[in-house]
């Protein structure tokens, strides 16, 4: 990994092989690609760069944009504004061979002179003063490398030396345990290329750490969680782990190495399923305010010629996402990118998010490095393969089951493997809405109000305690995943917070102002049993199954169970165990609208079960229908439903919220609950649907049958029979009963296994 002091040549990738067969260019889904020409991308970049000028300091070193102040403070936020907009300027300038009609080079050269002056009024914080400076220094290094002939070589010697001195603060530092290690790599690569200091030991340590976080199929876990778990998956897998190796290679003047190119291609082969046919990316994970940055790995694949997408498909996908954010108002009336997803919405922020943070969206303009004659700009747009037919696909590394219906543009992610459980086992911890919800999509958002963080309802399956408070999902344990069925389990817990008990429509509004992912304000925690949840998908439909089993950990007054660890004992000693009994909650997809009157709640009941549906004025709907489960009481395969009414999902509700959703001022979540308690091993089932296509029509109801387990234990498997005869078998991980044949506990779909629907 020794950096070379060379000037990178302009990238000219050859045409990508494996042309995707798509619809004709008249397909309306390709309209954004016809509008978003390279000239429009340039004009958009220029507009964003021009809009930040009024917020720059006199010497252009600090660009402090309106919005919240980050945890690093206003000083650091000013550096962030400079560095992240410089990144955009650098991509624009490099792709235009240094042509600079708007005077960007002089603006950013002036900022560099003032920012690196240790005695100046606009000096930048050093790495030893603000840890966040590491992140921004990487953008500065990349920008300087990409604009080397027109900026770096024309700086005076004093500014160049002060810049080297400022960047060198990262050399020899340690403690980078996630994507941050790449910041150190690119900074030291640039330093080496200009004769500055660097240390091979830093690069070796980072390479070892990166390999330890690689989990396969192109996916990196962005750090380790509790107990060393590698289950931290989000957009950082693409816009950091796969983009920085390319930028690092460009600093060193070489092609992307074969290992990283292969991993980038493998990642894009899966990430292409996470963007809807109308350009909506998945809203999941932290830092979603970076918006356009989701496109960075797709552009990286085109630049490195390491992508399964054709040039025309890359153009179509990137244009659709840009068009999506443009239409949704991501750029405000001042021409700025505010903190938010579409428009301004501060609740998507983390503690490190400030008003300048959204300009990591600059990574989404990485394609400007490709000149106007590159095939990605000249090829006819093509419909990506993932946008052509309904399909479901298992992404095994992150533990996600993805279901897409291109006709309505909705992609659904059923999360059975990612949790970002970074809290200590003894700390109060909640269901981080960005990571531990059961379901995510590009058309919906987790509910982010304080009440929703404290007592989650949406896209969530929970046990309800005696007061009706829903449990939180803790670290996720994977049980099974294929292209139709996903199963996971978690030991649940309850957070005891100040405020009243929830009412029938959801938790009371009197909750502490707890931010997403933060545990401040929670008074305590109660442990519960292990809740297993399964998802069986078919088009927009998901059959959701749930049952609980006792934990394998120690219970006061009893001897520890076999296999109990010291940590298990400590955990039980620290937190009390909720005694139960428990009811069960199944929460559907949240829908948002500009006003409450645009969301309509429908409730009904028939022989098939109870139903609650939220319908938006545009026809998009979210519904939850109770399903009868047979075979639990007498085991007769052909018996009529025998589930007791006491454990049916017979209470319906829709939690209405104001200000909890970045998609709209009003939102509503449909949910079902059991009126009676649920016994251990008893399966509860619901049909959960999110669709933009005639959501109000009656949907065929699948049949659910339990295959009993051994000695009255949990079920060994559950069969879901769809109306067309397809049968999906859901393994539970429990031992099979002696009399049960043909089921091993690892069986997936039978018949048309993994078929698209």
H or E element in which residue 327 lies? helix 311-327
Q: Give the span between the Cα atoms of 29 and 744, in whole angstroms.
A: 44
Report whether 402 contacts 412 (CB < 8 A).
yes
Evaluate the omega torsion of the peptide bond into residue 581 and state whether it is cis, within 30 degrees of 0: yes
Element (H, E) at 200: helix 200-213
- Based on the fold, state whether residues 398 and 380 are members of the same structural domain: no
What's the rounded Cα separation, in Å, for the pair 231 and 614?
33
Q: What is the pLDDT of residue 509?
A: 35
Q: What is the domain extent for residue 499?
A: 391-750
3-state secondary structure of 729: strand
Residue 332: in which H helix or E strand, if any? none
Same domain, 512 and 637: yes
* Same domain as 446, residue 487: yes
Lowest mean pLDDT among 173-187, 235-249, 644-658, 718-732: 644-658
Q: Same domain, yes or no, for 110 and 188? A: yes
Mean pLDDT of 518-544: 85
388 CB-contact burial (10 Å; exposed 0-12 / middle 13-18 / buried 19+): middle
Rounded to 10 deg, the angle between the 181-193 and 157-167 helix axes is 150
Q: Flag whether pLDDT at 353 surpasses 70.
A: yes
> Would you state the structure tokens that stand for residue 558, as one six-digit string?
């009893």
Determine contact, residues 202/12, Cβ cutoff 8 Å. Answer: no
Q: Name the one residue in this structure whose structure tokens are 């442990």.
A: 527
Q: In this predicted model, which residue has the larger pLDDT, 574 or 267? A: 267
Mark which of 353, 387, 421 sits at the end of a domain. 387
Minimum mean pLDDT among 146-150, 334-338, 519-523: which range? 519-523
If asked whether residues 411 and 370 sit together in one domain, one would say no
- The β-bridge relationship of strands 703-707 and 629-630 is parallel
What is the C-alpha to C-alpha distance for residues 187 and 172, in angstroms, rounded to an integer?
12
Residues 645 and 713 in one domain: yes
Kindly report the length of the chain: 757
Q: Are residues 369 and 425 in the same domain?
A: no
CATH number at residue 72: 1.50.10.20
With respect to residue 420, please indicate whether it lies within any of the assigned structural domains: yes
Q: Identify whether 13 is part of a domain.
A: no
Residues 523 and 554 in one domain: yes
d(CA 537, CA 703): 14
* Rounded Cα–Cα distance for residues 143 and 108 (Å): 10
What is the mean predicted confidence (pLDDT) over 63-83? 98
Domain co-membership, 436 together with 314: no
Does some domain include residue 14? no
Q: Same domain, yes or no, for 120 and 230?
A: yes
265-287: b or e for each residue (b if 16 or more CB lie within 10 Å)?
bbbbbbbbbbbbbbbbbbbbbbb
Bridge partners of residue 717, in order along the sequence: 707, 731
Q: Is residue 630 part of a domain?
A: yes
User: Structural domain tally of the chain?
Assistant: 2
In a domain, 756, yes or no: no
Cα–Cα distance measured from residue 462 to residue 460, given in angstroms and rounded to the nearest whole number? 6
Same domain, yes or no: 321 and 363: yes
In-domain check, residue 224: yes
Residue finishing a domain among 340, 366, 387: 387
> Is position 1 within any domain?
no
User: Residue 544: which of 418, 373, 720, 670 has the closest Cα?
Assistant: 720
Residues 362 and 294: beta-carbon distance below 8 Å: no
What is the pLDDT confidence band of residue 146, given thresholds at 50, 70 and 90?
Answer: very high
Mean pLDDT of the chain: 88
Mean pLDDT to the nearest integer, 416-437: 88
Burial of 134 (0-12, 13-18, 19+ CB in 10 A): middle
Q: What phi, psi does 730 have (nearest 5°)?
A: -105, 110
Same domain as 563, residue 514: yes
- Residue 611 near residue 704 (C-beta atoms within 8 A): no
pLDDT tens-place string over residues 173-220: 999 999 999 999 999 999 999 999 999 999 999 999 999 999 999 999
User: Among 105-119, 353-367, 395-409, 712-726, which is the least confidently predicted range?
Assistant: 712-726
Residue 425 is predicted with a pLDDT of: 74
End-of-domain residue from the set 369, 387, 405? 387
């Amino acid at each position: 990994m020794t950096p070379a002091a060379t000037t990178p040549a302009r990238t000219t990738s050859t045409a990508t092989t494996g042309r995707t067969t798509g619809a004709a260019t008249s397909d309306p889904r390709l309209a954004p690609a016809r509008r978003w020409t390279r000239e429009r991308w340039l004009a958009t970049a220029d507009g964003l760069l021009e809009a930040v000028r009024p917020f720059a300091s006199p010497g252009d070193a600090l660009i402090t944009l309106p919005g919240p102040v980050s945890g690093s403070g206003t000083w650091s936020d000013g550096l962030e504004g400079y560095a992240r907009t410089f990144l955009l300027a650098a991509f624009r300038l490099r792709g235009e061979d240094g042509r600079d009609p708007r005077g960007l080079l002089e603006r950013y050269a002036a900022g560099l002179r003032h920012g690196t002056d240790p005695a100046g009024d606009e000096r930048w914080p050093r790495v030893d003063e603000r840890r966040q400076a590491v992140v921004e220094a990487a953008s500065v290094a990349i920008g300087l490398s990409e604009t080397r002939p027109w900026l770096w070589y024309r700086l005076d010697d004093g500014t160049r030396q002060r810049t080297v001195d400022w960047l060198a603060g990262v050399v020899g530092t340690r403690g980078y345990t996630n994507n941050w290690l790449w910041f150190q790599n690119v900074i030291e690569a640039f330093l080496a290329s200009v004769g500055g200091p660097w240390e091979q030991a830093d690069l070796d340590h980072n390479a070892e750490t990166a390999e330890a976080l690689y989990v396969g199929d192109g996916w990196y876990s962005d750090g380790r969680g509790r107990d060393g778990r590698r289950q931290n998956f989000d957009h950082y897998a693409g816009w950091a782990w796969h983009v920085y190796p390319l930028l690092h290679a460009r600093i060193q003047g070489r092609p992307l190495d074969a290992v990283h190119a292969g991993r980038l291609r493998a990642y894009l082969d899966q990430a292409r399923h996470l963007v809807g046919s109308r350009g909506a990316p998945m809203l999941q994970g932290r830092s979603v305010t970076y918006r356009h940055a989701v496109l960075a790995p797709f552009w990286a694949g085109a630049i490195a010629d390491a992508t399964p997408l054709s040039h025309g498909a890359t153009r179509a996908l990137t244009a659709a996402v840009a068009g999506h954010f443009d239409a949704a108002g991501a750029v405000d009336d001042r021409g700025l990118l505010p903190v938010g997803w579409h428009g301004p919405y501060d609740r998507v922020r983390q503690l490190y998010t400030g008003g300048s943070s959204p300009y990591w969206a600059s990574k989404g303009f990485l394609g400007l490095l490709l000149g106007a004659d590159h095939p990605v700009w000249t090829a006819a747009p093509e419909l990506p393969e993932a946008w052509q037919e309904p399909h479901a696909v298992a992404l095994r590394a992150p533990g996600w089951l993805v279901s897409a219906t291109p006709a309505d543009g909705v992609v659904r992610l059923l999360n059975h493997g990612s949790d970002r459980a970074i809290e200590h086992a003894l700390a109060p911890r909640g269901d981080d809405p960005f990571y531990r919800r059961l379901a995510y999509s590009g058309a919906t958002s987790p509910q982010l109000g304080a009440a929703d963080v404290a007592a989650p309802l949406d896209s969530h399956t929970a046990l309800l305690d005696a007061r009706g408070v829903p449990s939180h999902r803790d670290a996720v344990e994977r049980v099974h995943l294929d292209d139709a069925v996903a199963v996971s389990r978690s030991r649940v817990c309850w957070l005891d917070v100040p405020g009243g008990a929830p009412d029938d429509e959801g938790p009371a509004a009197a909750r502490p102002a707890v931010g997403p992912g933060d545990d401040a304000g929670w008074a305590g925690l109660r442990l519960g049993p292990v809740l297993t949840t399964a998802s069986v998908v078919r088009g927009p439909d998901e059959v959701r199954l749930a049952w609980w089993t006792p934990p394998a950990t120690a219970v006061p007054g009893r001897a520890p169970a076999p296999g109990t660890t010291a940590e298990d004992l400590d955990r039980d000693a620290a937190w009390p165990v909720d005694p139960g009994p428990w009811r069960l909650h199944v929460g559907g997809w949240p829908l948002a609208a500009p006003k409450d009157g645009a969301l309509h709640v429908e409730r009904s009941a028939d022989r098939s079960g109870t139903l609650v549906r939220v319908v938006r004025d545009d026809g998009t709907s979210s519904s939850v229908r109770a399903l009868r489960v047979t075979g639990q009481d007498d085991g007769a395969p052909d018996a009529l439903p025998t589930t007791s009414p006491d454990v049916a999902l017979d209470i319906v509700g829709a939690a209405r919220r104001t200000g909890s959703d970045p998609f709209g001022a009003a939102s509503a979540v449909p949910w079902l609950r059991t009126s009676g308690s649920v016994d251990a091993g008893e399966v509860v089932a619901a049909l959960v649907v999110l669709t933009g296509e005639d959501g109000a029509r009656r949907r065929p109801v699948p049949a659910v049958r339990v295959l009993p387990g051994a000695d009255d234990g949990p079920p060994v498997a559950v069969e879901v029979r769809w109306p067309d005869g397809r049968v999906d078998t859901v393994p539970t991980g429990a031992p099979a009963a002696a009399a049960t044949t043909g089921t091993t506990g690892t069986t997936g779909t039978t018949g048309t296994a993994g078929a698209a629907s």
